[in-house]
Amino acid sequence: MLILAIESSCDETACAVVADGVSEVAAELASSAELHHKTGGVVPEVAARKQVEFILPVIESTVNQTAAKLGLAPEQVKEQVDALAVTVGPGLTGSLIVGIEAAKALALAWNKPLLPVNHLVGHIYANFVDGTIIDPFPAVALVASGGHTDLVLIKAHGDIHYLGGTLDDAAGEAFDKVARLLNLGNYLGGANLSQTARNYTGPPLPEKLPRPLLQENNYNFSFSGLKTAVKRLTDKKNYPVGAIAKEFEEAAVEVLVEKTVQAARETKAKTILLGGGVAANQKLRADLVSKAGDGITVKIPPLKLCGDNAVYIASAAYFNQNYQPLEKVIPHPSLTISEP
Ligand code: KG4
Ligand code: ZN
């Protein structure tokens, strides 16, 4: 089954064609991230206008790539595509609308079903794209991105239960805000902060940062206090940036890893699935594997599928084929992961 998927939830415009949810045929992506560096964050109106600019060339390029791969003329691709898929939320409404309306128009023109996909469920299915997962359920998934940090229990495809999530800032947001405090980047500085922590070889920070909610018997997270603790440190002491970055990363990763492994043990999960932009964090990837131990398989997406893209949207659509009539496919900015 060939699915053409569109993702436009924030500042990336992406389209992909995937076979049977596991085999990438074609993928194209355009990003307006450069513009948001200038403003230190995404201005929704600016992101939406860029979505309008990018959407048709991105779809066209994906169709052309698919044609080349299948040895067809571009106008023949529609005959091979079985269904379309599109991200319906969570995300910026103006950005989502562009992808959704393009997908609806294509579904109408090509006379294909349209499968709505939750963006966060999509992040989880980045783990399925290489086709190596066999019988992973029950699984616990940690989705850690710039806007969300959620732990869910997946009993089967489409059977997803919310276990807990952040009460305030998302993990990626905390990385980004601390990066800004430490002058390591004013937009999406999380990866840079992590790199600085990895490169630091000096003595550790003399003061420990808090591990928020680690001792509480639930699956919730809180990262805003951690950010405030870093702010207090930078205000009063002149510690090396590398030492602060390293201690912050250790604190954030420790909480993410401990809660995820605890959730997997308590729910008797066979597998831990990692997803979201923060899944690119090397320490998180390594610590999750080492802490999970032998009885639990940890699946981590390849780096290129950690950030937003349409490949995993196609995969999620394949494994969760909740077809909706076109008029029912609308953006859900507040959709939570417990409603896949
Ligand atoms: O999933 P994503 O691409 O976009 C959203 O859906 O939010 O996640 C982006 C987030 C940003 O906060 C970014 O700083 C963070 O993922 N991120 C990282 C790393 N790479 C990206 N955070 C920590 N360490 C990294 N290596
Ligand atoms: Zn995302």
Per-residue pLDDT tens over the stretch 144-202: 999 899 999 999 999 999 999 999 999 999 999 999 999 999 888 999 999 999 999 99
Alpha helix (H) ranges present in the chain?
Answer: 33-39, 44-70, 77-80, 93-110, 119-125, 171-181, 190-199, 224-236, 241-266, 282-292, 311-319
| Mean pLDDT score of the chain | 94
What's the pLDDT score for residue 127? 97
Instruction: Using the mean position of ligand 1's atoms as its centre, give its distance from the Cα of residue 252 in Å.
Output: 13
What's the pLDDT score for residue 229? 96
What's the pLDDT score for residue 334? 63
The answer on pLDDT for 317 being more than 90 is: yes
Confidence of residue 337 (pLDDT cuts 50, 70, 90): low
- Return the SS3 of 66: helix
Ligand 1: nearest atom to the Cα of 194: 24
Mean pLDDT, rounded, for 84-92:
95
* Sheet of strand 83-89, all strands in order from the earlier edge strand to the far edge: 23-31, 12-19, 2-7, 83-89, 114-118
Tell me phi and psi for residue 40, to 5 degrees.
70, 20
Instruction: Using the mean position of ligand 1's atoms as its centre, give its distance from the Cα of residue 289 in Å.
Output: 19
Mean pLDDT, rounded, for 267-275:
98
pTM of the model: 0.95
What is d(CA 159, CA 180) in angstroms, rounded to the nearest whole number?
A: 38
**In this structure, are residues 336 and 22 in contact, taking their beta carbons and an 8 Å threshold?**
no
Nearest alpha carbon, ligand 1 atom 8: 277
Task: Indicate the pairing of strand 139-144 with strand 114-118.
Answer: unpaired
Confidence of residue 227 (pLDDT cuts 50, 70, 90): very high
Mean pLDDT, rounded, for 68-84:
98
What is d(CA 330, CA 70) in angstroms, rounded to the nearest whole number?
A: 32
| CB contact set of 71 (below 8 Å; sequence gap of 6+) | none
> Which residues surround ligand 1 with Cβ inside 6 Å?
10, 145-147, 172-173, 175-176, 188, 190-191, 194, 276-278, 280-281, 307-308
What is d(CA 89, CA 159) in angstroms, rounded to the nearest whole number?
A: 18
The answer on pLDDT for 311 being more than 80 is: yes
Mean pLDDT, rounded, for 286-302:
95
What is d(CA 69, CA 157) in angstroms, rounded to the nearest whole number?
A: 29
Ligand minimally distant from the alpha carbon of residue 148? 1
Instruction: Using the mean position of ligand 2's atoms as its centre, give its distance from the Cα of residue 75 in Å.
Output: 31
The answer on pLDDT for 339 being more than 70 is: no
Q: Give the residue, out of 13, 121, 127, 145, with the most ligand 1 atoms within 8 A of its beta carbon, to mutate for a pocket test.
A: 145
The answer on pLDDT for 93 being more than 90 is: yes
What is d(CA 87, CA 269) in angstroms, rounded to the nearest whole number?
A: 27
Mean pLDDT, rounded, for 25-32:
97
Instruction: Using the mean position of ligand 2's atoms as its centre, give its distance from the Cα of residue 133 in Å.
Output: 21
Mean pLDDT, rounded, for 240-269:
98
What's the pLDDT score for residue 335? 64
Confidence of residue 340 (pLDDT cuts 50, 70, 90): very low
Ligand 1: nearest atom to the Cα of 307: 3
What's the pLDDT score for residue 336? 63
Ligand minimally distant from the alpha carbon of residue 145? 1
The answer on pLDDT for 315 being more than 70 is: yes
**In this structure, are residues 310 and 6 in contact, taking their beta carbons and an 8 Å threshold?**
yes
The proportion of the chain whose per-residue pLDDT surpasses 90, expressed as a percent, equals 90
What's the pLDDT score for residue 254? 98
Which residues are found with C-beta within 5 Å of the ion, ligand 2? 145, 308
Q: Give the residue, out of 11, 12, 142, 175, with the most ligand 1 atoms within 8 A of its beta carbon, to mutate for a pocket test.
A: 175
Nearest alpha carbon, ligand 1 atom 17: 278
